[in-house]
Structure 1
């Protein structure tokens, strides 16, 4: 095997030691592969599979699966069966997890890549706003003591929004992750003044959750990856009454936790913390990994997220734009302030931009796509850039006012023509790539 194949095998061995499956995206991010969803890895995986078979080692590649799946896809199984015969995949995975991979020197993960022992817990909030609420809270000292006794500093706490209260689109879904240290104190110390005052004004929350444990980092899950709590963590969610989960928290098994690591997230500020945050949209697995040298991108641009499938988007600013621009209403009649771009998650990008604004009447909304398709339609950044460039070109050529960067003032008709120009250009670029790949 070559150096890359050994690196992939060591990554898989590290996952096996954690008794966790992994995805093509996670492998790609870990080794700096040139396609983020793992396209083209097959020949390398086949070499690894035969290398292991020749040495009578368990088939590591059987724990490599598509996002959200437990077993390899059928096309991958064809390669596995060709090398190993008609194996039982569940038994093969159990063999991989049971084997001591540290006993194979060339495949043993480096010491700094071994599992860090993080635990995952589950609890519920009425929302998710770490910039103003930087802790988890308990209603009494006994519940907090139970959590501290059974957890470790650095534990990850997955947050789902209660089904009876919270933003409508979040209710019942796992929406974020907090990293919790073991610093304790009154909740007021870890919550912003305005948010604390709002909490105490509400009769339903007044005097509750006063015994707090501080959060040190936080990640929002992209809305496209919101998952009902009973689907993401069926065992943990069914292990206790929802009221108990919200009041005390429950641990999540390593098997269920692996699904959390596959979700796309971006880091957000935590109240009281002064360190920098990384807004890159990436899997939680990648967000938690130590920085590593990666193969440089083939194109000289950076979009604040890993490559992979993309949406084009147009964001629109809602509010009194005349006041915002310092103009009269007549001067901006029928005009809209928009931002054009592309992202894995238009909603996450909207949230990131909105977070830079103080609370007020100016709100960014995702104007296009509407409705947003379940899957991003463009396979990579290069294709999405063709669409974004076409949108900017149409705006400039048709007389939109440039407000700086990707922000424009344009009338409604031009906004619609801009969207058509972008989607047409991206579609044509994707068609060219597909034809070239099949030639």
Structure 2
């Protein structure tokens, strides 16, 4: 059996993971090849060709290391197909064969290393929060600690940030919330921190005079809140390797397994203080965010944020604060009304944070009004389904004469906000039911 260019691209990506001794997910494969459905829909026919191509050449079954996020082995339906093609194989033994095989002996399957985020070290340290737009560096208490980091690290290392368990926003404490790319550009911390952040640091007796020996950050990514994980879960070895105070003061290097887990998290790029390069706010895995890609295009829409396809939530955001003053109107005119934004996303909380970042700090704050509580897993399989729900929400708002404030922002009566959410869920659920009736290509 022969393979086409796309199938070779998939196989080479799997070989790259095999060489690293890593399993990979449908989402990572989908994002790497630009597949429209990273969750795996429609990928199966290509995996089938790859599986038979390998079997014909007596090569290890690469597709056995392709699993769902958070799993060690392929799903039951994928295993059923793999065994129908290869027999009743031992999946653990098959995966180990894939990892141990010398893929350099198969030149046509060797990956183009220039397109992979290889050579990246991952370190772990702690902050009291995560705000790279105002704090564009990692800081050390003295020159010897900074020298140690520079001696042991490489330029471009990734530093995972967890929020200390004693300080910082309560919902972030003890969780890995962001990643910094760190240069070897050393200097005084004040040169890499905004004036207001520096003044705030120096006013606080707990931070005054601390962390003044810094190394500049060059890029930053915020982990979507749905993927925030306790530091001891994501970095079990690194976190146990030293006392938390040592980790915060010096940083520790992560293992290869921990680095691989970090690459699977969904993130979006955020600005770094002092840097002027354009950022890509697309919600995607860290691995995809690190891979070389075409230049970032400026958006023609306010607050536009892209994201790879895959499971989605509908959402309604609501602006809290004195909305009458915000709109310059009489308070009585806006009684029982709300300013809302409707849409869909892999992460409603990330979308809220991205919109909020365009506002100066103050009393006006966006909140995720619906879904509440947010389900653990996104209920709609892809963007097409979610779009049906979003369109239904917009139609309900317009039909009921909600005031359009621009784009997806509306001023609506409270009762209409509830009705809008019901309309969106009903339309998306119907679209999901139709999708579920469609024949699916096996993704094994």
Q: TM-score, normalised by structure 2?
A: 0.93
Alignment of 1:284-363 (within 5 A): 284-291=286-293, 304-363=306-365
Cα-to-partner distance string for 1:216-246 (whole Å, 9 max, x where unaligned) = 0000010011111111111111111111111
Work out the CA distance in 2 between the residues paired with 1:361 and 1:261.
Answer: 35
In the other structure, the counterpart of 2:399 is: 397
Indicate whether 1:209 and 2:223 are aligned.
no
Work out the CA distance in 2 between the residues paired with 1:63 and 1:391.
Answer: 41
Cα-to-partner distance string for 1:202-229 (whole Å, 9 max, x where unaligned) = 1111111111111000000100111111
Q: 2:269 aligns with which of 267, 270, 287?
A: 267
Alignment of 1:23-42 (within 5 A): 23-42=25-44
In the other structure, the counterpart of 2:281 is: 279
Q: Do the aligned partners of 2:117 and 2:290 also contact (CA within 8 Å) in 1?
A: no
Structure 1 residue 86 displacement after superposition: 4.3
- CA 1:91/1:207 → structure 2, altered by over 3 Å: closer, same or farther? farther
- DSSP-derived class of the 2:185 partner: strand
Q: Do the aligned partners of 1:19 and 1:255 also contact (CA within 8 Å) in 2?
A: no
Structure 1 residue 41 displacement after superposition: 1.9
List runs of 5+ in structure 2 lacking aligned partners: 296-303
Q: Do the aligned partners of 1:21 and 1:258 also contact (CA within 8 Å) in 2?
A: no
In the other structure, the counterpart of 1:252 is: 254
Structure 1 residue 256 displacement after superposition: 1.6
Q: Do the aligned partners of 2:117 and 2:287 also contact (CA within 8 Å) in 1?
A: no
Work out the CA distance in 1 between the residues paired with 2:144 and 2:57.
Answer: 53
Alignment of 1:11-410 (within 5 A): 11-113=13-115, 116-291=118-293, 304-410=306-412
- DSSP-derived class of the 2:109 partner: coil
- DSSP-derived class of the 1:403 partner: strand
Higher relative contact order (CA 8 A, sep 6+): 2
In the other structure, the counterpart of 2:7 is: 5
Structure 1 residue 397 displacement after superposition: 1.3
Work out the CA distance in 2 between the residues paired with 1:324 and 1:280.
Answer: 29
Structure 1 residue 156 displacement after superposition: 0.6
Q: Do the aligned partners of 1:138 and 1:208 also contact (CA within 8 Å) in 2?
A: yes
Structure 1 residue 59 displacement after superposition: 2.3
Work out the CA distance in 2 between the residues paired with 1:244 and 1:83.
Answer: 52
Work out the CA distance in 1 between the residues paired with 2:439 and 2:283.
Answer: 27
Work out the CA distance in 1 between the residues paired with 2:358 and 2:292.
Answer: 27
Work out the CA distance in 1 between the residues paired with 2:305 and 2:193.
Answer: 32
Superposition RMSD on alpha carbons, in Å? 1.7
Structure 1 residue 53 displacement after superposition: 2.8
Work out the CA distance in 2 between the residues paired with 1:427 and 1:89.
Answer: 36
Q: Do the aligned partners of 1:18 and 1:115 also contact (CA within 8 Å) in 2?
A: no
Work out the CA distance in 2 between the residues paired with 1:212 and 1:149.
Answer: 14
Structure 1 residue 292 displacement after superposition: 6.0
- DSSP-derived class of the 1:132 partner: coil
Q: Do the aligned partners of 1:159 and 1:175 also contact (CA within 8 Å) in 2?
A: yes
- CA 1:245/1:280 → structure 2, altered by over 3 Å: closer, same or farther? same
